[in-house]
Amino acid sequence: MVEIFINLTLFVMLVATAIAITRMQRLFGVVMMAGVFSLLSALLLVTLDAVDVAFTEAAVGAGISTVLMLSTLTLTSRIEKPSTRSPLIPLIVVTITGAAIIYGTLDMPNFGDANAPAQVGVAAQYLERSPEEIGIPNVVTVVLASYRGFDTMGETAVVFTAGVGVLMLISGLRRRRRRADEKDREEAR
């Protein structure tokens, strides 16, 4: 009962944070609330016993992403510019996507179901054979580093590529700002 209360409380806080993010005009507040959203997501993942995913969410979502967004914010305006377009098309796209996601989850097994594919698949074999096959006692490490090594390497490459892309965008914004400052100085002379 306590666990359900904690999960519901965290979920309500996530929804309230998301609503606050959409209503804010100041971009600094949006970045800070996005960091809070990531930390709440990490807490919710911890309560669902997905500590490795929670750690990644806290490190990438609340840590690196917040720092990158704050550094990008130093190169842009502080207040969101009002949109001149109608939000109807994005609303329709988000509604259709959300409906498709909900439809895709209707045939999922119940949480903790012993007959779920995750429970009757290779998990039991990993637990039994990994200490002898790999020689590492921690099964999560064995799965991520050995059995799913290429997948983990791919995920790492994607995160690295995204980070390099953001850094390239930031450097391009700096160059543009420097050029604009130089142009303003020349006009002032």
Q: Over 70: is that where the pLDDT of 173 sits?
A: no
For residue 137, give both structure tokens: 């006692």
- The reported pTM is 0.58
pLDDT at 96: 97
Task: Give the Cα separation of 151 and 170 in Å (integer).
Answer: 29
How many of the other CB atoms lie within 10 Å of CB of 48?
14
Convert the pLDDT of each residue in 15-59 to its tens digit. 999 999 999 988 899 999 999 999 999 999 888 877 778 888 888
* Predicted local distance difference test score (pLDDT) of residue 8: 92
